[in-house]
Amino acid sequence: MSRFTNRPALTAAGSALVIAVGVTVAVTASARTAVTATASSAHGRSAQGRPAHAVSLRRPPGPLRVTSVTPGPGTSGVNGAGAVRVTFSAPLAAGSPLPRLFPAIAGTWARSRNTATFTPAAGFPAGTRVTLTVPGGAAGVKGTSGAALAARYTARYTTGGYSTLRLQQALGQLGYLPLTWVPVLGDAVPPDANAELSAAYRPPQGTFSWQGDYPASLTARWRPGAANVIDTGAIMAFEADHGLTMDGDATPAFWAALLRAAVTGQRGAHGYTYALASKDSPETLTIWHDGRRVFRSLANTGIPVAPTADGTYPVYERLRYQVMTGTNPDGTHYADPVEYVAYFDGGEAVHYFPRYAYGFPQSLGCVELPLAEAATAWSYLSYGSLVTVG
């Protein structure tokens, strides 16, 4: 009987030992159970007042990670005026370094919880390869917990090309086309550099309208959203006004100047001129300016062995006076003084040349006019003006 009466005493003693020492002693299996219960209840708080089990569950923060980037890495055709966003796995610390862009452009970075956003003042031009770098390591981006981005993160994307439709819209608004363009309600582009750049990538909605009454020889050549000879003439007129190389190509220099002019509303200096040299008998030259017919005269085109080429061409050179030289069909040479010269196709030009009569083929390819009429025509035929022969 004594072994049964002694067991409770031993248990009580074990319990007393647990109370005295804490959770460091266990005598029997039942005592270990008691210790666990005691540690989670009677002794459930540490000296600092925190739950005792919280110490064993706390882990150091994991490294900061980049979870998404906009524009996406490796993408092309990107609107270079858009914002750049980098999202992290945790909120960013206030003093944390920010991502960097190359090429560097004007703009501002802003933090909002776990996202860093770059808003450009005037974004990247067409065809730019952009590199985004997020600094990592000890001097890199850090979260509010102190966790850092383990290593540098790099992503690249490429901006798209500018829209031919937007080129036409801007040239129309600035008076370089025989059409006007009006945006739909609420879709106008504000006079802001980055807004104009964004529209160059993604043109707004709107409507083109012919400015006055032009003949079918011009209207049939118009292609909204597609390059055409009307665009070429307008580009050359713009280039002439802005001191650019007059090649009729929408070069990066042209686009930069066009976007600046669109922001300031700088309209063309000469209005819009179109000329039609008709080979119907009697031959004539007719000119329209800003939507109305302003000039008509008898004219001479090329003789059958040296005809004036049919087609539509922009004026690329203007001379008040010149001595034209060349070879006659019989092999002899000529050196003829001419006035009010507007070249439109190679060596072919509208100009004054003295003749007994006008209205039928007499030239070696040029469009000849009487003196007073040539002076009037020349005043309208500015750089980029289109001349149709046919």
Could you report the per-residue pLDDT of 142-158, keeping only the tens digit for each? 999 888 999 999 999 99
Give the pLDDT confidence of 249-283 residue by residue, as tens digits: 999 999 999 999 999 999 999 999 999 999 999 99
If one counts every other C-beta atom within 10 angstroms of the C-beta of residue 87, the result is 15
Give the pLDDT confidence of 371-384 residue by residue, as tens digits: 999 999 999 999 99
Give the pLDDT mean for 69-84.
Answer: 97
pLDDT at 61: 60
Dist. CA 333–CA 262, nearest whole Å: 49
Residue type, 321: Y
Question: Which pTM was predicted?
Answer: 0.81
Q: Supply 214's token pair.
A: 């032009």
Dist. CA 209–CA 182, nearest whole Å: 8
Dist. CA 85–CA 318, nearest whole Å: 52
Dist. CA 186–CA 163, nearest whole Å: 20
- Helix axes of 229-241 and 252-264: crossing angle, nearest 10 degrees: 70
Dist. CA 201–CA 199, nearest whole Å: 5
CATH of domain 273-389: 2.40.440.10
pLDDT at 304 > cutoff 70: yes
- Residues of the chain within CATH 2.60.40.3710 domain(s) are 66-158
- Residues of the chain within CATH 2.40.440.10 domain(s) are 273-389
pLDDT at 18: 35
Give the pLDDT confidence of 20-34 residue by residue, as tens digits: 333 333 333 333 333
Question: Model confidence at 59, in pLDDT bands (50, 70, 90)?
Answer: low
Find all residues with CB under 8 Å of 108, minimum gap 6, and list them. Answer: 118, 119, 121
pLDDT at 186: 87
Q: Supply 219's token pair.
A: 């209207």
pLDDT at 63: 87
CATH of domain 66-158: 2.60.40.3710
